[in-house]
Homo-oligomer: A and B are copies of this chain.
Amino acid sequence: MADFALPGLDPTSDRPVFKQIADHLREAMNGSALPPGSKVPSESQLMTHYGVARMTIRNALQLLQSEGLTVAEHGKGVFVRSRPQVRCLASDRFARRHREQGKAAFIAETEESGGKPSVDSIQISEQEASPDVAKRLGLPAGQSVVVRSRRYLINGHPVETAISYIPSHIAQGTQITHPNSGPGGIYARLEELGYRLDHFDEEIRSRMPLRDEVKALKLAPGIPVFHLIRTAYADDGQAVEVCDTVMSSDAYVLSYQLPAR
C-alpha cells in the first residue's frame, strides 16, 4: 500500500471500526510516517488493507477532516494538512517603541519573522455604535463611531479580519478616517492627537467560524477561530478604540505575560 505499515483492526475492541482506522492514520500523522503535505492512502488501498466497506473508510477520513488534520483535494485525494506560517503575538506588541519605528504591529512582526505582510479590503465608514461597542468605549448608546475594517494576509494567505471602532468626536477630520492611516497606524495617530495610550485589554474566545469567516479567511474544515476584542485606553482612563478581530487559529499563537506579584 504505502511505504509505511498500518496495524490491523482489533476485533476484541468495542471501539467502532472507523474510529480504529482513524486512530491508526492519526498516529501515522503524529509520527514521521505521514508528514504534513503527504498523501493519505486512497479509499481503495485502505479498503483492501482493512477488508471493510468503502463507507467505513469514508467515515474514518471524514472524522480526520473534521478534526482539521487532513484536506481533500478534488480528484487528487486526501492530504495531511500543511500548516501556514504561524504568527506569534507577543504581549509587548503594542509597546510605544514599536509604534515609534513607524510601522503598525502586524507589518513589523510579520516582516521580522520573514513573512510578506499585506492588508486588503480596507473599508471606512461612520456608524452608530452597537450597544456592546458603546459600552466598551464608555459612550452613551447611539453615539457615532468611525469604523475601519480590513483583512490581514501573510504571504498572500488571509489570517485575520479586524474592525476598529473609534469615537467620531476623536477621529473625525483626522488621518484615522483615511484608508492609509499613516506611519505607526491609528495608535500613533491617537497619540499625536493627545491620547497617550496606557494599556490594552484583550478578551479572547475560541469557536468554530461562521460562514462568512470561512470565506474571508479561506479556512479548511475543522479549523476554529480566535475571536479577540481589544480595547485601547488612554492614560486618563478613557477608552479610545475597540478592535474586534477574527483570526485563523491555524496561523496564530497568542502569548501574554501575567504578573505574579
Q: Which residues of A contact B (CB under 8 A)?
A: 19, 23, 66-68, 91-96, 187, 197-208, 210-211, 222-226, 230, 232-233, 249, 253-261
| Complex contacts, A261 vs chain B, CB 8 Å | 95-96, 197-199
The docked-state distance in angstroms from the alpha carbon of A198 to that of B257 is 10
Most buried by B among A19, A223, A226: A226
- Copies of this chain held together in the complex: 2
Residue of B nearest to A209 (CB): B67
Residue contact B94 to A260, C-beta cutoff 8 Å: yes
Residue contact B208 to A258, C-beta cutoff 8 Å: no
Residue contact A207 to B249, C-beta cutoff 8 Å: yes
| Complex contacts, A230 vs chain B, CB 8 Å | 258
Residue contact B255 to A94, C-beta cutoff 8 Å: no
Most buried by B among A19, A93, A204: A204
Whole-angstrom distance from the CB of A161 to the nearest CB of chain B? 16
